[in-house]
Chain A
Amino acid sequence: MSAATSTTPAAPAAGRERPAATQTAFWPTVGALLRKELLVELRTLESVPAMSLFALSTYVVFHFALNRGSVEGDLAAGILWVTLLFAAILGVNRLFVADADQGGFDGFLLAPVDRTALLLAKVLTLLAYLLVLELIAVPAFSILLLGAPIGPALPGLIATLALADLGIAVIGTLVAALAVRTRARDLLGPLLALPLFVPIVIGAARATEPLLVSAHRGEPAARWLATLAVYDLLFGLIAYALFDFLLED
C-alpha cells in the first residue's frame, strides 16, 4: 500500500470510542485545494478577467458620466468601493461553480479531511482574485477619476483594502457555498451577499475618504478600520461555525 505521507490522527469529539479513519493533515489539504482552485482559474480564466474588465469599464463609465475633470473625498471613495464590491460579486458567484457542476464537492466530502480546509482555501482563493482585481482597478481608478496621484495615499489604502478584502472573501465564501446548491444560484448569491457587504462598503469608504482629499490628505480613520476588523472577525467566526453545515446534505 502507498504510504500515507502527511497524516495526523483525526480528533473525534469526546465520547466517540471507535478509532477514526486517519485524517489528512490540515495545511497540506488547504495547499492542495488552493493549488487546484488557482489551476482551474488559470485554465478557464472565468473569474478574474471578468472582475477586472467590469471594474475597468465601470470607471470608464463614471469618467464620462460624471463629466468632470476629477473626483475626490467621499465621492471618490464611494465610486472606488461600490465598483470593487460589484466586481467582487462576479467572483463570488463563480467560486463554487466548478465544484458543484463537476462533482468536486462529493470528491472532497469523501476524503478524510477537516472541512474547514475548504473554507480557508476558498477564502484564500477569493483574496487572490481580489488582489489581482485591485492591482488593475486601483491604478485605473487613479488615472481615470482621481485628480491627484494616488501614491501618497497607498499605505493607508492598502490597509483599508486588506481589511475590506478579508471581509468580502469570508462573507463571499459563506454566501457562495449557500447559494451554489440552489437552482437560482446566480440570483441568490448577490441577493444574499449585498446586504452583508453594506457595512464593509460603509467602513471602507469612510476609511478611504480622507486619503482621497487632494488638499489635506489625511490618514485612514482608525475608527472605521477597527470597525472593518471587528466585522471581519465576526463573520470569520460565523463562517467557521456554519461552513460544515452548508456542505452537508
Chain B
Amino acid sequence: MTTPAVEVSGLVRRYGEREVLSGVELALEPGRTLVVFGPNGAGKTTLLRVLATLLRPHAGTVRVLGSAIPEEDWAVRGRVGFVGHEPLLYRELTARENLRFHARLHGVAEDRVRELLDQVALTERADEPLRTLSRGMVQRVAVARAVLHEPELLLLDEPYANLDPAAIELLAPLIGASCGCTRVLCSHDPSGGLDGADVVLGLRAGRPALLAQAGTLAPEDITELYR
C-alpha cells in the first residue's frame, strides 16, 4: 500500500485563543491534487503553512511525505515547494540574485536558475531589482523559486492570483496538473479550481465542510461553501 503524501487527522491550530483550524482530516495519495476551497478566513492558508512546516499543529497528527510534523519536519524541508501570498523574495535583489540565493540554500546548481528564468520568460528582466517588476512577474519568479529544487509536494496558495492567461499557461508545466508532483492548492475559483483536482476539501470557519472526489462535484457545490 502506498504511503499517503499528506495525511492529516484531527488537526487543530490556534492563533491565541482562536481556533483557526479544527478537526481537519484528509489523506492524499502521491501524485494527486487536493484543492482547498473556502471563504476568506476559512483556514486555507493556515493549513498550507502547517503542511509546509512553517506552523506547528496544536493538536492532531500531520504526516507530510511520510514524516510526522513537527517532530520530523527536518525530513520534509527541501522536499516541499511553497507559493504563498508573499513571494518570499527580496525586493532589492534581482530575480536572478533571488533565485541564485535560494538555489544555494537548496544545494541546486546554477544551471537550474537559468533554465527556470527561461521557463518563466524572465531572462530579459532577470537582472532588474524585483521592486521594478510587475506583480505578475514577481509571481512568476516566486513560482520559479518554489520549484527550483524540484520538490515532491507543491503547496500553492492561490498561485494564479496576479497572473494573466498567458502567464498561467506558461507556468502550467511547473505547477499545473501536468507537473507530476503531489499538489495541495488553495483556490477561490469554483470552475477553474476543479480542473485538475482529484480531491476537494471545503473549509468553513476552520472546520471541514466538504471532502469529496472532484469528479463527484459541480462548481455549484463549491459556490455553496461561500454562502
B75: contacting residue among A4, A21, A31, CB under 8 A: A21
Once the chains bind, are B107 and A7 in contact (CB under 8 Å)?
yes
Q: Which of B36-44, B96-104, B184-192, B204-212 lies at the interface with chain A?
A: B96-104
Once the chains bind, are A18 and B105 in contact (CB under 8 Å)?
no
Once the chains bind, are B104 and A112 in contact (CB under 8 Å)?
no
Does A102 sit within 8 A of B, measured CB to CB? yes
Does B172 sit within 8 A of A, measured CB to CB? no
- A103 and B107 in contact (CB under 8 A), knowing A39-B93, A249-B56? no
- A110 and B52 in contact (CB under 8 A), knowing A18-B67, A40-B92? yes
Once the chains bind, are A110 and B55 in contact (CB under 8 Å)?
no
Once the chains bind, are A16 and B72 in contact (CB under 8 Å)?
yes
Does B66 sit within 8 A of A, measured CB to CB? yes
Does A75 sit within 8 A of B, measured CB to CB? no
Nearest CB to that of A112 among chain B residues?
B78
Once the chains bind, are A107 and B78 in contact (CB under 8 Å)?
no
- A113 and B105 in contact (CB under 8 A), knowing A21-B74, A249-B55? yes
Contact residues of A with B, CB < 8 Å? 1-7, 10, 12, 16, 18-25, 28-29, 31-32, 35-36, 39-40, 43-44, 98, 102-104, 106-113, 248-249
- A28 and B104 in contact (CB under 8 A), knowing A39-B93, A112-B77? yes
B92 to chain A, nearest CB (A): 4
Question: Closest 7 interchain pairs by CB?
Answer: A112-B78, A32-B104, A2-B112, A111-B105, A103-B88, A103-B86, A107-B88
Once the chains bind, are A43 and B93 in contact (CB under 8 Å)?
yes
A23 to B149: give the CA distance in the assembly, Å.
12
Contact residues of B with A, CB < 8 Å? 52-56, 66-67, 72, 74-80, 82, 84, 86-93, 97, 101-102, 104-109, 111-112, 115, 129, 145, 150
Once the chains bind, are B102 and A106 in contact (CB under 8 Å)?
no
- A106 and B105 in contact (CB under 8 A), knowing A39-B93, A43-B129? no
Chain A hits for B66, CB < 8 A: 18
- A104 and B108 in contact (CB under 8 A), knowing A18-B66, A21-B74, A112-B77? no
B76: contacting residue among A12, A21, A40, CB under 8 A: A21
A19 to B79: give the CA distance in the assembly, Å.
13
Once the chains bind, are B97 and A110 in contact (CB under 8 Å)?
no
A108: contacting residue among B80, B86, B91, B105, CB under 8 A: B105
B107: contacting residue among A18, A19, A25, A98, CB under 8 A: A25
A3 to B115: give the CA distance in the assembly, Å.
13
Once the chains bind, are B88 and A106 in contact (CB under 8 Å)?
yes
A2: contacting residue among B67, B88, B108, CB under 8 A: B108
Nearest CB to that of B65 among chain A residues?
A21
Some 11 contacts from A to B, beta carbons below 8 A apart, are: A16-B72, A20-B75, A21-B74, A24-B106, A32-B104, A43-B92, A98-B90, A102-B90, A102-B91, A109-B54, A112-B77
Once the chains bind, are A44 and B82 in contact (CB under 8 Å)?
no
Nearest CB to that of B81 among chain A residues?
A110
Chain B hits for A110, CB < 8 A: 52-54, 77-78, 80, 82, 88
Chain A hits for B92, CB < 8 A: 39-40, 43-44, 98
B90: contacting residue among A2, A3, A40, A112, CB under 8 A: A40
Question: 7 extra interchain contacts, Cβ-Cβ under 8 A, other than A36-B101, A98-B92?
Answer: A3-B109, A23-B78, A24-B104, A43-B93, A43-B129, A103-B86, A248-B56
A2 to B91: give the CA distance in the assembly, Å.
26
A217 to chain B, nearest CB (A): 45
Nearest CB to that of B85 among chain A residues?
A103
